[in-house]
A and B are shown apart, each in its own frame.
Chain A
Amino acid sequence: MKALRRGLIVAVIAVLVGGFVKLRGKGGVPPTSGGWRELDGPDFR
């Protein structure tokens, strides 16, 4: 009974920690260089 209670406590803690950290999806990689340039006159010729 004691082991079961400990197991339950460990499971609850694991769920809480998992929810807190919230690791979802594989994520992306941030662009390491460059940026956005507005399209203007020369782009439209």
Chain B
Amino acid sequence: MTAVLLEGLGAVGIRAARQLVDTPGVASLLISARSAARAAEVAASLGAGAEAVELAPDDPLPAGIDAVAAALPTTLAPARAERALAAGVPFASTVDAADAIDALLELDQRAHAAGLLIAPGCGLAPGLADVLARHAADALDAVDEIHVARAGSAGPASTAALRRALRDPVLEWCDGDWREERHPNRELVWFPDPIGARECAPVTVGAALLARAFPGARRVTMRLAEPLARRLTWSGRRGLDEGWGSTRVEVWGWRGRTRESMVYGVIDRTAIAAGTVLALTTARLAGAAPALAARSGPAAGVHGLAALVEPVPFLAELARRGVKAAAFEGVAVA
């Protein structure tokens, strides 16, 4: 009987809750949120498989939990990961800020010692983009470059993290080392319709997870589209990008003696895609979905989804739940 604790009931958390309840291997879902009343209301709406719990940040985890899914603001995630680690429970988080991902990566040795898996970046990008990068890499003999771009955010906390990422210094993985991009150039990136062409700026977010998963890659870049809200709505109002989101993953590599590129993309409601990715990853960490686990993946440590899940069954299960990836066929844009 697999039990999962979900922390956070924002735009992503509430979608993850529904997806977890609908996952056959998950028998029990405990829900913890800042508002106990909200947690109780959501648990009641999900049926008998869900139950609200009151859990203060310093409280120990309830007994019998097989994995924790955290859909929390980035500042809260590292402490919750520490708590899960102390309790010996695997941890998955949607955290998508570079400093928070770095904080989780610092737990790598302790996670190895405890024999636990911790998965930061279980959203659209980082997250689903990493799975698409692995899917592309599996079709190539060697991976050379990985370029990921994302448009859209899931809720106000995600939009704030996106804006912060666009302001922060930019580090890119280049020839086996991190290099600061002193004059970051914006580029037009073609996402699947209806998002289409968007101007994207380089960021650091998520590149560390990809560089770890693809040690042979010579270059790894991440780009984010500036939220439309900044230009088109009053400051502080909910952004237009908080609805639809997209990610585009371009992988260059070698097949035999030919250099080839593969381009994958996804378009969906950002919160729905991120919530579904978080739910499936948590089910995989809890042992409720063993078919999703990467065949030669790590047994412990802190890893992105490119290392943790088998892309084909993961993408097939996402498609079954309505989050469908697409391949670009034609002339790839370098």
Residues of A within 8 A of B (CB): 24-40, 43-45
Q: Is the CB of B331 within 8 A of A31?
A: yes
Quick one: CB contact mask for B305-329 with A, threshold 8 Å, 1 for yes?
A: 0000000110110010000111111
On whether the beta carbons of B313 and A44 are closer than 8 Å, the reply is yes
Smallest Cβ-Cβ distance to A39: which chain B residue = B325
In B216-235, the 8 Å CB interface with A consists of none
B186 within 8 A of A: yes
A36 adjacent to B192 (CB under 8 Å)? yes
- Looking at the assembled complex, report how far the CB atom of B117 sits from the nearest CB atom of chain A, in whole angstroms: 24
Min CB distance A21 to B, Å, is: 15
Residues of B at the A interface (CB closer than 8 Å) are 185-190, 192-193, 197, 199, 264-265, 312-313, 315-316, 319, 324-333
Asked whether A34 and B192 contact (CB < 8 A) given A25-B186, A40-B319, A44-B313, the answer is: no
Cα distance, A45 to B332, chains bound together (Å) = 24
Q: Are A36 and B187 in contact (CB under 8 A)?
A: no
Which residue from B189, B190, B316, B331 sits with its C-beta under 8 Å from A44?
Answer: B316
Give the chain A neighbours of B189 by CB distance below 8 A. 28
Q: How far, in angstroms, from A27 to B190 measured CA to CA in the complex?
A: 11
Give the complex CA separation of A26 and B186 in angstroms: 7
Residues on the B chain within 8 Å of A32, using CB = 330-331
Beta-carbon contact of A25 and B187 below 8 Å: yes
Set of chain A residues within 8 Å of B333, measured between Cβ atoms: 28-31
Determine whether the beta carbon of B265 is less than 8 Å from that of A36.
yes
Chain A, interface SS category: loop
Given the interface pairs A28-B187, A28-B189, A28-B190, the reply to whether A44 lies near B328 with Cβ below 8 Å is no
Contact of B188 (CB < 8 Å), options: A28, A34, A37, A44:
A28
Q: Which residues of A contact B328 (CB under 8 A)?
A: 31, 34-37
Task: Report chain B residues within 8 Å CB of A39.
Answer: 264, 315, 319, 324-327
| Residue ID in chain B nearest A34 by CB atoms | B330
29 sampled A-B residue pairs with Cβ under 8 A: A24-B186, A24-B199, A25-B187, A25-B199, A26-B187, A27-B187, A27-B188, A28-B188, A28-B190, A30-B188, A31-B330, A31-B331, A31-B332, A31-B333, A32-B330, A32-B331, A33-B330, A35-B329, A35-B330, A36-B192, A36-B193, A36-B265, A36-B328, A37-B326, A37-B329, A38-B325, A39-B264, A40-B319, A44-B313
CA distance A25 to B188 in the complex (A): 9
Q: Which residues of B are found within 8 Å of A44, using beta-carbon distances?
A: 312-313, 315-316, 319
- Chain B residues with Cβ below 8 Å from A26 are 185, 187
Residues in A neighbouring B192, C-beta threshold 8 A: 36
Contact check, B329 vs A34: say whether CB atoms are below 8 A apart.
Answer: yes
Are A30 and B329 CB-contacts (below 8 A) given A25-B185, A25-B199, A39-B324?
no
| Distance between Cα atoms of A27 and B187 in the complex (Å) | 5
Which of A25, A31, A36 sits near B327, CB closer than 8 Å?
A: A36
Chain B hits for A36, CB < 8 A? 192-193, 265, 326-329
How far is it, in angstroms, between the C-alpha of A43 and the C-alpha of B239 when the chains are bound? Answer: 35
Q: What is the CA–CA distance of A24 and B265 in the complex, to the nearest angstrom?
A: 25
Q: What distance in Å separates the Cβ of B274 from its nearest Cβ neighbour in chain A?
A: 19
Q: Determine the distance from Cα of A45 to Cα of B187 in the docked complex, in whole angstroms.
A: 35
Q: Which residue of A lies closest to B199 (CB)?
A: A25
A27 neighbours in B (Cβ, 8 Å): 187-188
Question: Nearest-CB distance from A22 to chain B (Å)?
Answer: 10
Tell me which residues across on chain A come within 8 A of B197, comparing CB atoms: 28, 30
Nearest A residue to B330 via CB reads A34
